[in-house]
Structure 1
Amino acid sequence: MGFRGRTERYMASRLRRGALPLSSAPHIMGMRTERTPSSFGWYRGFFNLKFVPSIKPTMLGTFYFRKYYFKNLMKEGLSMKKILSLLLSAVLLLTALFAFSSCGNEKPVIGIIQFGSHGSLNNCYDGVMAGLEESGIDLDAYTIEYVNSNFDASVSQSQANTFVNKRAAVIITIATPSAVAAANAADGEIPVVYCAVTDSTTMDNYENITGSSDIPNFEKQLEVVTAFMGKTDLTIGVLYSTEESSSPFQVEQLKKAAEAYDGMQILDSAVSDITTIDTRTNELIDRGVDCFVNLLDNTIVGKLETNILPITNEYNIPVFGSEIEQVKVGCAASASIDYIDVGKAAGQAAAEILGGKSASDIPVAVITEPTNYYNSEVCELLGLTVPDTIDATDVAE
C-alpha cells in the first residue's frame, strides 16, 4: 500500500475515534512524511486542504513544505499558481478559525456618545457612570467605550454607526444630536438610552429607546431674571443653533412664559454655523437687548465662555444661564437643573436594559425642578444687586 493509501486509512481510523482532521491531521501527516519516500501525492481530505506541513510544531501558524512535495504536485498537473492559490486558501481558513475562536472571549460593549464638552454634558456623563455603578451590575464584564463628537452631528452619526457594527449591548447618548444619530443607526435593533434630550417627543418615532429629559422651567428662570434685573419690561436676547432640534421648541416655550410679564420681549437669533456666533451676539446687542437668556442648547453653551461672555461683558450686559456650570464660568444667575441627576436616570435605565428589561418598558425620566444659583463676583462686576426675594446659592463662595 502506497503512502496515500496508508494516510487515508490512518485518517479514517482517527475519525472513527473522534479525532479532529483539521488541526491535528496535518501535523501527523508531517510526522509520517519523515518516514516515507519522497514520492507521494497529497491528502484529499476534509475541506480539500492540499498541504502537508513538516513535523516542526506550530500553532496553526507558518507551514514549512518540502521541495519534493511541490515537485510531486506539479508532476500531477498542478501549476505553481494553483498550488499557491490552494495554500493561500488554507491560510485564510485557519486565520478565520482563529478569529472565530477569539470572538467568544470579547466583552459586550457599552457605547457612550457625548455630543460635546461643556459643564452640563460633562455632569451628565458623570451621572451616567454613577447610575451604572449604583445599579449593581458588574461593569468589569463589559467594555465601556466613550467617544466625543465635539459638537459635530456628522461625527455623532459616524460614531453611532461604529457602535452598531460592533453590536453594542446598549448605546448611551448625551444630548439630542447624538441621540438622534444613534437611534437612526440602531434602527430598533440595538437599545439606545438618551440623556439630556430636552424635547423628548423628538424620539417618539424610534423603537427600542428610552432615556431622561431635561425640560427647562422657563417660568422659574424668568422669575430669577426679573429679580436680578429689577424690572419686568425687559428685551431679552436668545441665541440658538439650527442643528439642535429641541432649540426652536425651547424658544417657543420661553416666549409663552414671557407673556406673563407686561412689556417683556424675546428677540431670538438662529446660528447655523458656530463661526457666526460672535456676529449674532453683536446683532442682538445692536437691537437693544437688556440681557441674554441661555437655552439648553449645546452648541451655544459650548461657545459661551470663549465667544459670548467676552462680548457681553464688554457691553456690561448680563447673561443668565440654563444650569449651574454656566453660572460658574460667568453667567449672572440661573434656575438650574441638576445634570448629575439627569445622567443618573439614564445610567439606571441602561443598567435595567443590560439586566434583561426591554427599553420600551422603561418610562422616560423627566427632570425639571430647578435650583437657583448666582455668581456674586459676576453680579458685582455687572452692577447687579442680589435680590432678597430669590432663594439662591452663590457659586463663587
Structure 2
Amino acid sequence: MKKLVMKAIVLLCIIGLISACGTQSSSTSEKQYTIGVTQIVEHPSLDKAFEGFKAALKDNGFVEGENVKYDVQIAQGDMSNNQTIGTNLVSKKVDLIFANSTPSAQGALNATEEIPIIFTSVTDPLGAELVKAMESPGGNVTGTTDTHPEAIPSMVDFIATQFPDVKKIGFVYNSGEQNSVSQIEMVENVLKEKGLEAVKVSVSTSAEVKQAAESLIGRVDAFYMIGDNTVASALESVLKVLYDKDIPMFAGELDSVGRGCFAGYGFDYYDIGYEAGEMAVQVLKGEKSPAELPVQYPQKLKLVINKKAAEEMGVELKSAWDDMAEYIN
C-alpha cells in the first residue's frame, strides 16, 4: 500500500511539473504588447488602412484586448501635434509604432531611431527621407507606400484618351505635405507628356479647401484629387462645388471614388494597411528588423467608376468602359 501511495505522489509531482512548465510557456508566449498609432488626420482612407493593419495582427495571434493594446493618437492635421505624438509614444516605451501617413512617419522618426516604426499611406518614402532605399530601408523604419507606379500614368491616359475636351486640370493640395508635393510633381510630368496643363491651388488647412476649389471654377475642365490628407478630410465640400457645375473629378485612390469622385485608378487602403500589419508581425516576433524588410508597393490596381457621381457631374457613361472598369453606384 505504501508503495502505491508513493507512486501516486510521484506521479502527481510529475504532472504538476509538466503543468507548471506548460503554464510558464503559455505565459511567455502571451507577452503583452503596446503598439503606438500615430495618424495625421481622420478620413476613410487612413481609417481603412488602420483596420487592415489590426486585422493582419489579429490573424497572426496579436489580438487587441488580449495580448495587444493600441495607443491611438490623431494629430487632427496639426503638424505641431504630429511631432508631439511621436515624442509621447516614445516616452511611453511602446513596442512598435504604426505611422499612418507621411507626416506621421516623419514625426515618429524624428522622435526615435530605436523603436521599430512600420508605416503605410506614405507616397514617397525616399523623398520623405524615411528610408535609405526601397529594397534596403537601413534603419528602424519600413512599411507600405500608397503609390503604385502605374496609377498616375493610367489615370492620365484615361483622361487624355476618353475626355478629349479636357485640356486643363485643377488640383487643390497642401504644399506642406511632402507626399502631396511629390504626387503633384509626378502628375505634372505625365500631363505634359499628354499635352495637358495642371492648374494648382495650395491650401494649409481643411477650412480653406472649398474656397480653393471655387477659385478654379471657370479656369479648368476637370479636377484631379491626389492623395492629400488635408483635401481628403474636406472632400465633400469640393464635390458639392463640382456637382453644381457639372465638372468631373478624377481620383488617385479608390476611397475618394467611393465618396463621390467620378473615377480613379487605385487600390484599397485596407490592403496596404494589412500588408503593413504583416510586416509588423515579423518585427514583433523578432523574425526581421525594419532594416531587413523592403518597402512594399500596393499589389492590386484597378479602374473604378462611380455611376452616381458620373450623373451628378454630367458625365455620360460609355460602353467602351465596361471592359476597362469596375462600376460602383
- Structure 1 length as normaliser, TM-score? 0.68
Alignment of 1:104-183 (within 5 A): 107-137=32-62, 140-183=66-109
Query: 1:368: Cα distance to partner?
Result: 6.3
* Farther-moved stretch of structure 1 (150-159 vs 333-342): 150-159
Distance 1:185 1:382, change over 3 A: same
Q: Percent identity?
A: 27
Q: Which residue of 1 aligns with 2:26?
A: none
Alignment of 1:71-110 (within 5 A): 107-110=32-35
Residue 135 of structure 2 is aligned to residue 220 of structure 1: no
Q: Secondary structure at 1:184's aligned position in 2?
A: helix
**What CA distance in whole angstroms lies between the structure 2 residues aligned with 1:370 and 1:394?**
14
Residue by residue over 1:25-69, the C-alpha shift from the partner in whole angstroms, topping out at 9 and shown as x without a partner, is: xxxxxxxxxxxxxxxxxxxxxxxxxxxxxxxxxxxxxxxxxxxxx
Residue by residue over 1:4-40, the C-alpha shift from the partner in whole angstroms, topping out at 9 and shown as x without a partner, is: xxxxxxxxxxxxxxxxxxxxxxxxxxxxxxxxxxxxx
Q: Which residue of 1 aligns with 2:260?
A: 330
Higher RCO structure, 1 or 2 (CA under 8 Å, sep 6+): 2
- Larger strand proportion of the pair: 2
Alignment of 1:1-397 (within 5 A): 107-137=32-62, 140-186=66-112, 188-201=113-126, 202=128, 203-204=130-131, 207-216=139-148, 217-226=151-160, 230-231=163-164, 233-262=166-195, 264-286=196-218, 288-305=219-236, 307-356=237-286, 357-367=288-298, 369-390=300-321, 391-396=324-329
**What CA distance in whole angstroms lies between the structure 1 residues aligned with 2:212 and 2:157?**
26
Query: 1:207: Cα distance to partner?
Result: 2.7
Task: Tell me if structure 1 keeps the 8 A contact 2:222–2:247.
Answer: yes
Q: How many residues align?
A: 287
Query: 1:265: Cα distance to partner?
Result: 0.9
Structure 2 gaps, min length 5: 1-29, 133-137
Q: Secondary structure at 2:41's aligned position in 1?
A: coil
Structure 1 gaps, min length 5: 1-104
Answer with 1 or 2: which has the greater Rg: 1
Distance 1:368 1:249, change over 3 A: farther
**What CA distance in whole angstroms lies between the structure 2 residues aligned with 1:350 and 1:158?**
23
Distance 1:385 1:159, change over 3 A: same
**What CA distance in whole angstroms lies between the structure 2 residues aligned with 1:135 and 1:232?**
51
* Farther-moved stretch of structure 1 (159-168 vs 276-285): 276-285
Query: 1:114: Cα distance to partner?
Result: 2.0
Which amino acid is the alignment partner of residue 84 of structure 2? S
Query: 1:156: Cα distance to partner?
Result: 2.0
Task: Tell me if structure 2 keeps the 8 A contact 1:227–1:389.
Answer: no
Residue by residue over 1:330-379, the C-alpha shift from the partner in whole angstroms, topping out at 9 and shown as x without a partner, is: 11111122211110111111111101121111111111652111111121
**What CA distance in whole angstroms lies between the structure 2 residues aligned with 1:177 and 1:338?**
20
Q: Secondary structure at 2:198's aligned position in 1?
A: strand
Query: 1:324: Cα distance to partner?
Result: 2.0
Indicate the RMSD between aligned Cα atoms, in angstroms. 2.1
